Amino acid sequence: MKKFVCLLPLIALVGCRPPAASVGDVVELRFWNGFSGPDGKAMEQIVRDFNASQKDVRVKMQIIPWSTYYDKVTLGIASRDAPDIFVLHSHRVPEYATHGALAAMDDFLTESKMGPKDFVPLAWGAGTWQGKRYGLPLDCHPLGMYYNADMFRKAGISKPPETKEEFLAVAKKLTQDTDGDGRTDQWGFAITDLHLVGSTLLFQYGASLLDKEGKRAALDTPGGREALGFLRSLVTEHKVAPETSGDDSWVAFQTGKVGMAFQGIWMIDGLERQATFQYAAAPTPILGPEKKVWAGSHILSIPAYLGADRQKAAWSFIRYLSDHSLAWAKGGQVPVRPNILNSKEFQDLRVQREFAKQLGYVQYEPSSPAANQITTYADIAVQSVSQGLATPEEALATATTRVNRVMERQ
């Protein structure tokens, strides 16, 4: 109860703050995002460049860690004190759009003569809801594979695996007891982020959180069960991955105890700074019958209640960001503008370019205002199976009941 009590004075307080003022003819805009890593530094540089490039609009950026970011943005929108431009993850857009919180951008795109031709086809749909555009995708971040190149070389493996058979063979070869004490101390693979790895496996086995109509769960299929069964078998049957998951697994990879791990592009900075070995990246191996991989996008949005002039100024900044996303790529991202992807400068980025190879077959999370809520249910299923607490059948049946219960209320 107390938490809700907190909300009231909070709204009262933020309501008292003066709106961001326009000084003279210069429109001052606030821009929020959660880029608290090295991506934030790249973004800061782009904002500085934008401010220097013209005299009409000044952007002030504020970085809020993702863990509290959405609460701040949402309360901001509810109290009409949100920033003029903010970043949303692609799967969150329908939730905000359906409540009329986001400004439609279709007219801006037409005016700027921007269209599908300027974007990677699969990323073009990100930021839309029910046929209208509520945000522009700045990038596309698919799940990719990092591998320990030193370990590969030592084991005589010449190229990263692409199929399930190759993946298992490599993983088995790398899983070793190096000091001869009878216990494995070098693992071929480690299950890192359960949401990303689980979603990718489900996609590759033809299962999805929601069916094509976006009405009911499509998780509990033979493919879905096989996907989660395969995930668990890496630990139990094939014995190529330790029991751990999440950050612990990633640390194990970072400290050279693991040969391969699937993670997002945003992890490269930590590797650059901390890895004591040669690492390399490759597209995520295709472990199921379908060639798919999980991906998301950072979407740039504008609050719906903003006046036309400010919306226009905000759009000019969004457009600048999109046009200059090469700088963003260098900060550790994959842009979605083909002209940038094909540029020599981008192709020189050895990790980003590997992740970008997957742009032709990425799969986004289902588009639904309830996406955030029902994703939790699938994640719990993946977690339960990967820890051996439930069979894939049990876990997916539970998740299906939960997802459908929420979807019936939509």
Write out the two tokens for 306. 């903003």
Which position among 143, 384, 392, 400 is part of the footprint of another protein (CB under 8 A)? 384
CA distance 104 to 84: 14
Closest CA to 321 of 335, 332, 308: 335
78 binds another protein (CB under 8 A): yes
Q: What is the pattern of x (binds another protein, CB under 8 A) and - over residues 93-132?
A: --xx--xxx-------------------------------
Which position among 8, 23, 52, 308 is part of the footprint of another protein (CB under 8 A)? 8
Judged by CB under 8 A, the stretch of 150-158, 265-273, 310-318, 396-404 that binds another protein is: 396-404
Q: Least Å distance between CB 329 and another protein?
A: 31
CA distance 76 to 46: 24
CA distance 136 to 288: 31
H or E element at residue 269: helix 268-274
**Residue length, the chain?**
410
Judged by CB under 8 A, the stretch of 17-25, 73-81, 124-132, 177-185 that binds another protein is: 73-81
Judged by CB under 8 A, the stretch of 114-122, 147-155, 332-340, 372-380 that binds another protein is: 372-380
Q: Least Å distance between CB 82 and another protein?
A: 11
409 binds another protein (CB under 8 A): yes
Which position among 387, 391, 397, 404 is part of the footprint of another protein (CB under 8 A)? 387
Q: Least Å distance between CB 177 and another protein?
A: 18
Q: What is the pattern of x (binds another protein, CB under 8 A) and - over residues 14-53?
A: ----------------------------------------
Which position among 29, 77, 234, 336 is part of the footprint of another protein (CB under 8 A)? 77
Q: Least Å distance between CB 218 and another protein?
A: 20
Q: Supply the DSSP symbol for 323.
A: H
Q: Is 3 exposed, middle or buried (0-12, 13-18, 19+ CB in 10 A)?
A: exposed
Judged by CB under 8 A, the stretch of 108-116, 128-136, 292-300, 402-410 that binds another protein is: 402-410
Counting residues that bind another protein (by CB under 8 A) gives 32
Q: Supply the DSSP symbol for 82.
A: -
Q: Least Å distance between CB 10 and another protein?
A: 11
Residue linked to tokens 């986001």: 102
378 binds another protein (CB under 8 A): no
Q: Supply the DSSP symbol for 163.
A: B
Closest CA to 239 of 277, 184, 195: 184
Distances (CA, A) of 80 to 16, 104, 135: 11, 17, 18
Contacts (CB under 8 A) with another protein, residues 238-267: 244, 248
Each as own residue / partner, the long-range contacts of residues 54-59 (CB below 8 Å, 24 or more positions apart, any chain) are 54/316, 55/26, 56/25, 56/26, 56/27, 56/313, 56/316, 57/26, 57/27, 57/28, 57/29, 57/313, 57/316, 57/317, 58/23, 58/26, 58/27, 58/28, 58/29, 59/29, 59/30, 59/31, 59/85, 59/317
CA distance 194 to 291: 19
Nearest CB to another protein, comparing residues 249 and 284: 249
Binding site for another protein (CB under 8 A): 1, 3-5, 8-9, 70-71, 74-75, 77-78, 95-96, 99-101, 244, 248, 372-373, 380, 383-384, 387, 389-390, 398, 401-402, 405, 409
